[in-house]
Structure 1
Amino acid sequence: MNFASCLAVLSWMLANQGSAQLLDQNCAEVSRLSNDIIFSRPWMALVLLPNKTCSGALIHKYFVITSASCVFNQERAIVRLGQLSIKQEHIVSYSSDDYHVQSAYIHRFYEKSNFEHDIALLELQNDVLYKAHIRPICLWLDKSDIDTQMFKRYETFRWGIDEKYILPAAKTSKIKHISQVKCENAFKLYPQNSHICAGYKNKSKCVETGSPLFKKIRYYTKIRYTLFGIQSYGESRTCLYTDVTKYIDWIMGVIQNVNVIVSNGENSYA
């Protein structure tokens, strides 16, 4: 690591003292208004590509996280934040904002055949202006504090992008963590340590690449929406997620490096 990189890391650490376990201390809290869709999922992103649409989550004023399978071999992308519904024309007070993607950072060991390392970061051309309905989801930086395999239940969020009937509003669903054996039977592949396997009890389907897996976690006196997975693949009601807690070092490496090096605007494979 060169001097400039070391200085950037040190500056970041000093700026985040007191909130060192969170990537962004302004990340979304759970409040009494959390049942209102305007305030409850302000980190959700639509990743708009020339031939498809994926989900993603805002984690930083310059970065959205999604799956590598969403943006692999894609040239142009726009991220839409503040979208409360696929059909948003009835909502007047809260408008969505579009951001051009400057660079897509895809994990260098991404493997399409077995969904290993299926994770990507999208660097936005402009920093995001946080609002009541646009705010990042929390990302826990201390890997030793949380074991995702111990959680029995999570929540996930779907736009209904690939369904014939478009939901009138985006929908949060409960999803249950399932064993590796059940996961292997569903996908005919053995899940890796970097995977989280979960399934719905109802008729919900795993159809949205890049959709986030999250839980409400207490951070000091506040409860925060905290990201744990990004959907990689789905088979009926069984979903395969990339465990983002296994990629904290990679995520921080990309973010800190971008703060030092001026991007050339082309797709990057980190």
Structure 2
Amino acid sequence: LQVDRNGEIYGTIGVYTLDENIVRLNVELSLGNRVNNYNGQIELMYPKEQVVNDIFQQKPIKYKLFFPRWENIPPKVTRISVNGQVVCSGPPIANSKNPYFNGNGHLPAVSQRKNQPPRPASTSPPSSSDICGSPVVPNPLVVNGVSVPRGAFPWLAAMFSVTSTGLEYKCSGSLISKKHVVTAAHCVEQGRKRIRADTLVFVLGKLNIKRWSLSEGEKIIEAEDIKVHPDYKPLTSDADIAVAILSEEVQFTRYIRPICLWSESDDLDVVIGQKGKVVGWGRDESNNTMTAEPKQTTIPIVSQEQCLWSGEAFKYVTSARTFCAGDRNGTGPCNGDSGSGFIMKRNGRWVLRGVVSISTYDQNTQTCDLSNYVVFTDTSKFKKWLFSFIS
């Protein structure tokens, strides 16, 4: 037991994370008598930078367990479990009738292969500065999607939020330069409050985001600033777009390359009926809320009229700066795919045309309803705003 600067007594717990997308730490306490108001809590022991470093070094994540305030008889830990698996247990306090205390922590999984230390990311410069939209690897949310070979979509970025209990997957994004990632505005807001940039980290060049040891050409980098489009209003798709400014420039590698921005006409009628791809780590057909590896799906753009006629809800969330896409057959981007790009092939290069914004909600499955269209922010309507960051 230790005492912090505020005089609070706490114990420490070290957890080796598992190959699961969320780790739940549960602690049960036996109490000898009544506690006064405060039931205790669990929080990370170290700052964000050290937590991220520990994950990549495959070290245990350290937590502080603050005990409830007690009288005469101190609490006793009777069980610690991780994702329902008991890692240690002990007898309760004799004659104790008090309930236990649970604390929950959430963080992405860590590969526990101890004999494979992380390798540094490659710093090899690209052979040409004009490499956007051109993956080196050929490509032979996505519900019922097709698996993605590593490097097939090298602009794909995974965004994590550093919380009080660890790292939590938030959304996807698309790298558009050495310092900028495009995502959805709602991904960087919580309620009506903006998430602080220094609590966000981006993983680039990585295929399996549940395995945290870095391989060659992979990078984890913090956000320096977040720019949300000034027209964005929560709960709509109009201007649901944001740019994360990274804390340092990334070096382009075989697995990290930018996507091209749309430079053609922004007239939606020109692309109605044409198909694009969405790639992301979101919910899959097995109901996993986050997949270890991204999946891709191909869906067509539909007219604004067709989208509006398909359901009353769409008139409240769409605008002249959005478009709808989908086959309405149970496939498409879902929870966790927010911020992913809708990409289309133009002159042999992949170009960013949209950003996953909103889908309708299925009350029965309590997740996205892919029998309806998905609404995308139309990035072609924000060309000047996007180019202002990278010009």
- Specify if TM > 0.5: yes
- Does 2:201 align with 1:74? no
Distance 1:243 1:198 in 2: 11
Question: Greater Rg, structure 1 or structure 2?
Answer: 2
Match of 2:49 in 1: none
Q: Secondary structure at the residue paired with 1:252?
A: helix
Distance 1:38 1:227 in 2: 19
Contact preservation (8 Å) 1:148, 1:228? no
Larger RCO (CA within 8 A; separation ≥ 6)? 1
Q: Aligned in 2, Cα 1:101/1:32: closer, same or farther, shift over 3 Å?
A: closer
Distance 2:298 2:382 in 1: 24
Match of 1:28 in 2: 133
Q: Aligned in 2, Cα 1:86/1:187: closer, same or farther, shift over 3 Å?
A: farther
Alignment of 1:163-242 (within 5 A): 163-164=287-288, 166-184=290-308, 185-186=310-311, 188-190=313-315, 191-204=318-331, 205-207=333-335, 208-218=337-347, 223-235=348-360, 236-237=369-370, 238-242=373-377
Q: CA deviation at 1:78?
A: 0.8
Alignment of 1:32-43 (within 5 A): 33-35=138-140, 37-43=149-155
Contact preservation (8 Å) 1:149, 1:196? no
Q: Aligned in 2, Cα 1:217/1:109: closer, same or farther, shift over 3 Å?
A: same
Q: CA deviation at 1:255?
A: 3.5
- Which of 236, 240, 243 pairs up with 1:114? 236
Q: CA deviation at 1:158?
A: 1.9
Q: CA deviation at 1:107?
A: 0.7
Q: Aligned in 2, Cα 1:136/1:148: closer, same or farther, shift over 3 Å?
A: farther
Alignment of 1:118-133 (within 5 A): 118-133=240-255
Contact preservation (8 Å) 1:86, 1:166? no
Match of 2:209 in 1: 86
Q: CA deviation at 1:127?
A: 0.3
Q: Aligned in 2, Cα 1:30/1:130: closer, same or farther, shift over 3 Å?
A: closer
Contact preservation (8 Å) 2:151, 2:205? no
How many residues matched? 227
Greater percentage in helix: 1
TM-score (norm: length of structure 1):
0.75
Task: Note the aligned Cα RMSD (angstroms).
Answer: 2.6
Match of 2:171 in 1: 54
- Does 2:371 align with 1:249? no
Q: CA deviation at 1:61?
A: 0.5
Q: Aligned in 2, Cα 1:168/1:196: closer, same or farther, shift over 3 Å?
A: same
Distance 2:245 2:227 in 1: 8
Identical aligned pairs, as a percentage?
28
* Runs of 5+ unmatched residues, structure 2: 1-127, 141-147, 361-368
Contact preservation (8 Å) 2:135, 2:153? no
